[in-house]
Amino acid sequence: MDSIVAGLDSASTADLVEAAAAINAQLAQRAAPESGPVCMELAERFAAALDQGEHALAGLIAVVDRTGEPKHWGLASTQAWLRCRLGMREGRAQERLTLARQLPRLQQVNQQLATGDLSYGYAATIADAVQRLNDDDCTAAEGILLEAVAGGVSARNLARLGRKVHDLVAELTGEDKPPEDAQRGYQRSWMTVSRSLDGGCYLHGWLNPEDTAILDGTLAPLAKPAGTDDRRDLAERTAAALSTVLAGGHRDTRVTVIADLQTLTGDDRPGRLRDGTPIPAAQVRRIALNAGISPLILSPDHVPLYLGHAVRIATAGQRRVLETLYDTCAVQGCEVPGLLCEVDHVDGWALGNSPTDIDKLALCCGWHNRWKHTHPHQIHITTTEDGRYRYRALPPDGTTRSRRGRPVDQADNPWHDHAA
């Protein structure tokens, strides 16, 4: 084992991080003891140490977020940095970013997490609960939630309590006036969408009285039972009503189903949605009977052929092709849906010189489209086997690094010879 010499009081933050990384690397190579009681005790102690490490990580993330450093590396936000560079899932990245932003307002939580007296799970739950409260209400809510933790409430039940914390604060402070949320008009309505593993999603949010009235007036008439045989409950009918509204009463619904010509003429080969979800051949044909079909003609090498000509703005047909090819922004790690992206000229646009041809276009989110134009030397481009372009944003010094920040040998860098 390599020795580690570090004076804890005099060591720099970088020295301590290196020491912690070395210790964790050694622990990862060790087999766990065979004794159950010993492993339980070690796991509890190690988990507490990791929670203190989360406090230190939150401090680092807070500085990165405050200084806007990710944007210099071609990342649109701190959350994008956490996803792309640290490999976090969307929910975990949001959780850690929220904790980093809220800890300075949560003095007791901050102190208890740092000393190991409060777990990361509880701290993150409290941070999520108070992020939309003003400073005075935040302090009151912190006391309520920490008291619940001291009383032995589980993290799950603490999250439920956190969703009601605004009402609890109002009751604690004896407020007789309407809650602040109701006085701030449209500013305080919010909603989060979290994806489930099967491709669905969960909705959670809060609407102010004005937005609630609009919601009721729009959905209530559509959520009534369709007849005496309608056995759906109110929640199911409300979800169906929302889908009807979002689809424009089925007038503007557009679903892209990709299928071979043979499938439409009787072959059993399945089609697929833009995200890769397979669609049985029989269902593809049923959809085709009631839908307009836009053919996407590919070359033998799966490269889309030309649909437009030398104009500045991509045609509607070209846009439809690109939305079929690109589920998200072409920049690696960017998760902005392709439907919300802008059409980007891969080689840049030169007025009167660069044609807007389908094999020279990609989809980029608005932020990365502008960033690519202003940072041309920080973009490397390659193409996939199916003819799509993939952009990779490089750090300010132009050195490609791995997800963990280590330099990559340019001889092994697949992007090295494809500078934009």
Q: What is the pLDDT of residue 312?
A: 59
Banded model confidence at residue 255, pLDDT cuts 50, 70, 90: low
Buried b / exposed e over 4-13, threshold 16 CB at 10 Å, is eeeeeeeeee
Q: Is residue 250 part of a domain?
A: no
Q: Are 80 and 194 found together in one domain?
A: no
Q: What is the pLDDT of residue 268?
A: 87
State the pTM of this model.
Answer: 0.66
Q: Is the pLDDT of residue 81 over 80?
A: yes
Q: Are 224 and 271 found together in one domain?
A: no
Q: Is residue 91 part of a domain?
A: yes
Banded model confidence at residue 245, pLDDT cuts 50, 70, 90: confident
Give the residue among 403, 334, 401, 408 at the shortest CA–CA distance from 371. 334
β partners of residue 391: 331, 381
Percent of the chain past pLDDT 90, that is, above it, reads 27
Q: Is the pLDDT of residue 333 over 50?
A: yes
Q: Are 138 and 82 found together in one domain?
A: yes
Q: Which residue has the higher pLDDT, 178 or 59?
A: 59
Q: Are 57 and 113 found together in one domain?
A: yes
Task: Give me the sheet containing 257-258, strands edge to edge.
Answer: 257-258, 271-273, 278-279
Banded model confidence at residue 400, pLDDT cuts 50, 70, 90: low
CA distance 96 to 109: 14
Q: Is residue 296 part of a domain?
A: no
Angle 85-87-89 from CA coordinates, rounded to 5°: 130
CA distance 290 to 309: 31
Q: What is the pLDDT of residue 189?
A: 80
Q: Which domain holds residue 21?
A: 1-30
Total domains present in the chain = 5
**Cα–chain center distance at 63:** 21
Q: What is the pLDDT of residue 399?
A: 58
Q: Are 101 and 156 found together in one domain?
A: yes
Q: Are 167 and 41 found together in one domain?
A: yes
Q: What is the pLDDT of residue 191?
A: 82
Q: Is residue 304 part of a domain?
A: no
The mean-pLDDT minimum among 153-157, 220-224, 250-254 falls in: 250-254
Q: Is the pLDDT of residue 185 over 50?
A: no
Q: Is residue 248 part of a domain?
A: no
- Half-sphere exposure in the Cβ direction for 293 (13 Å, CA): 14
Q: Is the pLDDT of residue 250 over 90?
A: no
Q: Is residue 218 part of a domain?
A: yes
The answer to whether 393 touches 356, Cβ cutoff 8 Å, is no
Q: What is the pLDDT of residue 254?
A: 60
Q: Are 153 and 57 found together in one domain?
A: yes
Q: Are 63 and 20 found together in one domain?
A: no
Q: What is the pLDDT of residues 122-131, one digit of tens each?
A: 999 999 989 8
The answer to whether 341 touches 353, Cβ cutoff 8 Å, is no
Q: What is the pLDDT of residue 172?
A: 66
Mean predicted lDDT score pLDDT of the chain: 79
Average pLDDT over residues 364-374: 88
The mean-pLDDT minimum among 46-50, 77-81, 181-185 falls in: 181-185
Q: Is residue 401 part of a domain?
A: yes
Q: What is the phi-psi region of residue 87: left when phi exceeds 0, alpha when psi lies from -120 to 50, beta otherwise?
A: left
Q: What is the pLDDT of residues 225-236, one digit of tens each?
A: 877 777 788 888
Q: What is the pLDDT of residue 414?
A: 38
Residues 6+ apart with CB under 8 A from 328: 334, 335, 336, 337, 338, 341
